[in-house]
Structure 1
């Protein structure tokens, strides 16, 4: 008997990575995820925000009107209504809308994501395209039926993030709430449990390799949420 995976609804994935060091474990983890998804026949687009020199600021200079009282969401709605979203946001938005699975890859900094990644959400989660306008929020968001997950590394080890741990940092789920609920679910995504490597800086080479080797199984659970055992 062997397990035959069900046909996955994930045909295209977008990995948005935010770590300034190309040689980091976080970057290796993102690369491992991309490689496995491709091996499963998933088309993968990757965006390395630091390598691309992404500007995380949302400002009036990015919109044609550029005068009077500046309200970003009004300007976003105006662009959506006009059918033209200024670059580079337009291209990033197109990739986002075309993906069945969104993966945000980042190190946990100050119990949150790097500012460059938060700035991408500010600019690319466009009102009128992902929520608002003809779309609602949460279950009525434009990304309903699609999946999103976090691919994470931390500075502390796993014990530091256990709920109620003495002298611990706190529950990791609480730190990720603003991502899972405030970003993913807000625009309609189904949230996939995060993949976390705790304290890779404290791991030796063998342990790091073992951690990377666990990425495929986690992604398989995303691609094949149910599977049937059938003879082949």
Structure 2
């Protein structure tokens, strides 16, 4: 994807199986807000692409004992990554902002999105090898944001609420996925319980998403890459 030197790119990785879902409408709203803010927006719809979440030896020329990260590192060095993984990795490396769009399932991301992270946050390219972790990882100097929906209400996800603090459930994503490979996480954009909202309330929720994403898009660059 070509772009002017001063332009910025956002990659949205979307994980919802229903095109008519509120989650998908929320993703489309965020994409429009980013485009209007001057971003080139790249959308990976994992279900539409039929992405397999399984990381196994079939993606590598492994013989004998299979250690996934060692095989990733070898594939990067030998330039033998699976072409589909390489394409997605290239799109990650081209983006200034990464957005994960998903419904909160079992207090985490859907399996298809976790499997995407397993395969595309490649050792030797996103971290490790010639890179470190956290501030020394390959994606340092970029931002990442969660765009999600929940089944429960806002009150249920507050500290002391029936389900517990939402930020506690998101910690493993912010720290263990985003920060681990160098991203600086932004505050998540959340719509609570859209299935229980009226049409008017859903429209208001999408307007709030648009506003939050527009504010995030206006943040200055972190560092030159």
TM over 0.5, shorter chain: yes
Structure 1 residue ranges without an equivalent (≥5): 1-8, 227-232
Measure the CA separation in 1 of the matches of 2:134 and 2:163. Answer: 29
Structure whose CA Rg is larger: 1
Q: Which has the higher contact order (CA 8 A, sep 6+)?
A: 1
Q: Give the 3-state SS of the residue equivalent to 2:83 in structure 1.
A: coil
Displacement of 1:84 in angstroms is 3.5
Q: Give the 3-state SS of the residue equivalent to 1:214 in structure 2.
A: helix
Matched, 1:100 2:96: yes
Equivalent residue for 1:46? Answer: 43
Matched, 1:184 2:178: yes
Measure the CA separation in 2 of the matches of 1:135 and 1:218. Answer: 32
Give 1:146's match in structure 2, choosing from 142, 146, 151: 142
Measure the CA separation in 2 of the matches of 1:12 and 1:149. Answer: 14
Displacement of 1:10 in angstroms is 6.9
Displacement of 1:59 in angstroms is 0.6
Alignment deviations for residues 123-170 of structure 1 (CA, whole Å, 9 cap, x no partner):
0000000100110001111101000010000000100001012xx101
Equivalent residue for 1:5? Answer: none
Structure 2 residue ranges without an equivalent (≥5): 1-5, 221-225
Closer, same or farther in 2 for the Cα pair 1:208/1:52, shift >3 Å?
same
Equivalent residue for 2:3? Answer: none
Q: TM-score, normalised to structure 2's length? A: 0.93
Q: TM-score, normalised to structure 1's length? A: 0.90
Q: What is the correspondence of 1:1-232 to structure 2 with a 5 Å cutoff?
A: 11-64=8-61, 66-165=62-161, 168-225=162-219
* Contact 2:140–2:184 (Cα < 8 Å) also in 1: yes
RMSD of aligned alpha carbons? 1.2
Alignment deviations for residues 93-115 of structure 1 (CA, whole Å, 9 cap, x no partner):
00000000000000001111100
Q: Give the 3-state SS of the residue equivalent to 1:136 in structure 2.
A: coil
Alignment deviations for residues 75-95 of structure 1 (CA, whole Å, 9 cap, x no partner):
100111113321210000000
